[in-house]
A and B are shown apart, each in its own frame.
Chain A
Amino acid sequence: MSRIGVFVCHCGENISATVNCEKVAKITGELKGVEFSTDYKYMCSDPGQTLLKEAIKEHKLDGVVVAACSPRMHEPTFRKACAEAGLNPFLCEMSNIREHCSWVHPKDDLTTEKAGDLVRVMVEKVKKNKALNSIKVPVTKTALVIGGGIAGIQAALDIANCGHKVIMVEKQPSIGGHMSQLSETFPTLDCSQCILTPRMVEVAQHPNITLHTYSEVEVVDGFIGNFKVKIRKKSKSLDEHLCTGCGLCTTKCPQKKIPNEFERGLGFRPAIYVPFPQAVPNKPVIDRENCTYYIKGKCKVCEIVCPTKAIRFDQEDEILDVEVGAIVLATGFDVLKPDFFPEYGYGKYKDVIDGLQFERLASASGPTQGEIRRPSDGKEPKKIVFVACAGSRDPAKGIEYCSKICCMYTAKHAMLYKHKVHDGTPYVFYMDIRAGGKMYEEFVRRTIVEDGTHYVRGRVSTIYEKNGKLIVRGADTLMGGIPIEIEADMVVLATAGVANKGAEELAQTAHVSYDAYKFFAEAHPKLKPVETNTAGIFLAGACQAPKDIPESVAAASGAAVKVAALFSNDELTRDPLVALVNRQPAPVFSSCVGCFLCQSVCPYQAIEREEIKNRNGEVIKTLARVNEGLCQGCGTCVALCRTKAIDIHGYSNQQVYTEIMALLNE
């Protein structure tokens, strides 16, 4: 006979507003096997938990059902409280009467009835629960950081400085990310590269960090503390140990007319190239798609001029297998391709550029050495229009969110322009100015007041060319929506920040959730902003949502602390909700017939073969056995087992059938 306790939470008024909690406690208290039932305003509060613990002791409860919020929220809380009262934590279950009941149904008898049903299901289930002990697994104290932008750099350095090994993987030939492309940063106008490059060098020289550039993560297996990762190190066609980075090959390469990605197409690069002068590592790669040798089979100028004979045309991609305990995703963002806007004529008119291209124009290391010159004829633009929210906050274009950084960088662009072209006139078309952040509003104010930027509240409908000028047609909504036309020399579109190319594939590889815009999803929007739904995988920077540099850095340090905290344990305890193949004394042994279908479907290689021997040591049959350390408890094997020899703790056949019967039979 069970002695189960039912605790119904009001969650302030979140549940009690639509569910009659007293009634739920009363009717469930009459169920068979329920010894004690009560309702309380906040079960998760300290007095609530004390109430639970006292009741366990007083009524000698052997099972607990807490009817409250989602178990995804507070299951650990109540299981811990049970353990503290001496009850095995796995004899505690939660009924979700908030997210799945009170919040989604109106106040009526049906809602209370449903809450009662949900509690009854768990009461029946908990009767079948078994006392279990947590599983201990070792932790590999090496972290993998995917992405070498400012967020990845910060996370890697923080983890490495805690004394742990870090493996950093960067897709591009150099680390640095988007921040290395920026000219100056708001709101202080620090030179971006001046503050970034020392950090890049620190990464390369840190004894705890192993850097793999021009590499991608292909496979992520395993689980928290014990991930197994395959990294593809793409061939650079170069022996990195021999290369001194002298750069002779890049100057002699005859193929020089390849649009430079780092300069956003505003300059050219050779086929063997270093992305930018401060690149880390400062060693070239051969772009095989554009290299004359790989296209036509002859050239090899770089090989001839290389003083250390470091060029390797026949080098192949290398696959590295690494074991890590935690993963930080810091793959950053991309900006929306401006050809998304045919009405703004990007691609058609050379002088309509995007924000990152303007950064390159304004950068001292950029294609114009920091002079603002328009791409078409190299003249200095005297009238320039910045279009904020190009794509962002535009449901018609499918991007409903605010890209967050554009208001600030547009103000910065206008200011930088004015600092370089004193007699120029900058215009900014905006929807709202969103300048929340330390010194941000003051910065925008400076752009308007001190630098005389004309802010026009309204959207641009079209841009077209007339007599060598770009006619920007929009409306000024503060003037009653009057149409306004500006004859500009150059237009800069503040295009929306979007998820990076390949983010979806990476999310699928690493098994983390992502949102409708392909940004990686955090475990909780407020309280777990750097965790993902997959334990041991964390988020840093703009791969989660558009973020500016301070926010990316803060998130990266947050993720690093989570990793360091994980690595502070030598072993982890894991929920023992794993599969189990039944065993009985000889001569039955098990209902397993050794078909090993389970082995073929297990994603974790957790099914092992166990040889059963007789007294003479002869193998009489081979049975399946679950390795508890590897099993993650998905239960696919359970559904597939022909003889129902495998079952899973927490979701056993008995428990599931009991739940169904309890749910449908009142």
Chain B
Amino acid sequence: MQEFEPKIVAFVCNWCTYAGADLTGTSRIKYSANVKIIRFPCTGRIDFMILMKAFENGADGIIVSGCHPNDCHYSTGNFHARRRWIVFRNLLNFTGIDTERIQFSWVSAAEGFKWAEVVNNTVKKIKEIGPYENYKKIAVSTLFNEEGASNE
């Protein structure tokens, strides 16, 4: 049987983690190809609809990463991201979404090595947890296609 290759999306800020991931490349540190990066100006821009959209489209795991607290290029964006994460994590847990699949981390522009670590650890963890079948079952698109057709 073919090994499960999870689809993982990384939402990162332009100033710290994106630059940190650039440094990982410049330092030629190898990491798993399962993770693909989408660039944002700041973690403050990343609202939870974005994470939901990723799960809905078949992501098995998500990484959100930005500047360390106090180092935000825009002063406070990452504080908003952190606060939002704390609040929404409970809500997501309540609604039954597997928050273990969301990895929140701080990776600075100087931490190329840490980025590779975050990626590899997340890939390892998601491989252990397995594909996110549960969400795919309840995804809006799935519901709409199956139950919408049967007209309940």
* Chain A residues engaging chain B, CB cutoff 8 angstroms: 70-73, 96, 98-101, 103-106, 110-111, 114, 117-118, 121, 507-508, 511, 513-516, 521, 533-534, 577, 601, 603-604, 632-636, 638-640, 648, 650-651, 653, 656-657, 659-661, 663-665
**Which 6 A-B pairs rank lowest in CB-CB distance, beginning with the nearest?**
A99-B25, A635-B45, A636-B44, A639-B47, A634-B74, A103-B25
- B10: nearest chain-A partner, CB-CB: A100
Interface pair B28/A603, CB less than 8 Å apart: no
- Chain B interface size, as a band, is 35 or more
State A636–B47 Cα separation when bound (angstroms).
Answer: 9
Interface pair A104/B25, CB less than 8 Å apart: yes
* In the complex, B118 has a CB within 8 A of chain A: no
State A661–B52 Cα separation when bound (angstroms).
Answer: 12
Q: How far is the CB of B75 from chain A (nearest CB, A)?
A: 4
Interface pair B80/A651, CB less than 8 Å apart: no
Task: Tell me which residues from 17 to 52 in chain B have a Cβ below 8 Å from any Cβ of chain A.
Answer: 18-19, 21-26, 28-31, 33, 36-42, 44-47, 49-50
* In the complex, B71 has a CB within 8 A of chain A: yes
Please judge, given known A-B contacts A634-B44, A634-B45, whether A511 and B73 are in contact too, CB under 8 Å. Answer: yes
Contact of B33 among A111, A638, A650 (CB under 8 A): A111
Interface pair B26/A660, CB less than 8 Å apart: no
Contact of B110 among A70, A99, A516 (CB under 8 A): A516
* B31 surroundings in chain A (CB, below 8 A): 104-105
* In the complex, B72 has a CB within 8 A of chain A: yes
* In the complex, B58 has a CB within 8 A of chain A: yes
* A663 surroundings in chain B (CB, below 8 A): 9, 36, 38, 57
State A634–B73 Cα separation when bound (angstroms).
Answer: 9
Contact of A99 among B24, B49, B58, B72 (CB under 8 A): B24
* A514 surroundings in chain B (CB, below 8 A): 110
State A664–B18 Cα separation when bound (angstroms).
Answer: 20
Interface pair A511/B72, CB less than 8 Å apart: yes
- B80: nearest chain-A partner, CB-CB: A636
Please judge, given known A-B contacts A104-B31, A114-B33, whether A513 and B110 are in contact too, CB under 8 Å. Answer: yes
State A85–B59 Cα separation when bound (angstroms).
Answer: 39
Interface pair A121/B77, CB less than 8 Å apart: no
* In the complex, B109 has a CB within 8 A of chain A: yes
Please judge, given known A-B contacts A516-B110, A640-B80, whether A104 and B75 are in contact too, CB under 8 Å. Answer: no
Q: How far is the CB of B58 from chain A (nearest CB, A)?
A: 5
Contact of B75 among A71, A110, A511 (CB under 8 A): A511
Interface pair A639/B24, CB less than 8 Å apart: no
Interface pair A660/B50, CB less than 8 Å apart: yes
* In the complex, B97 has a CB within 8 A of chain A: no
Q: Which of A72, A577, A664 has the most CB of B within 10 A?
A: A664
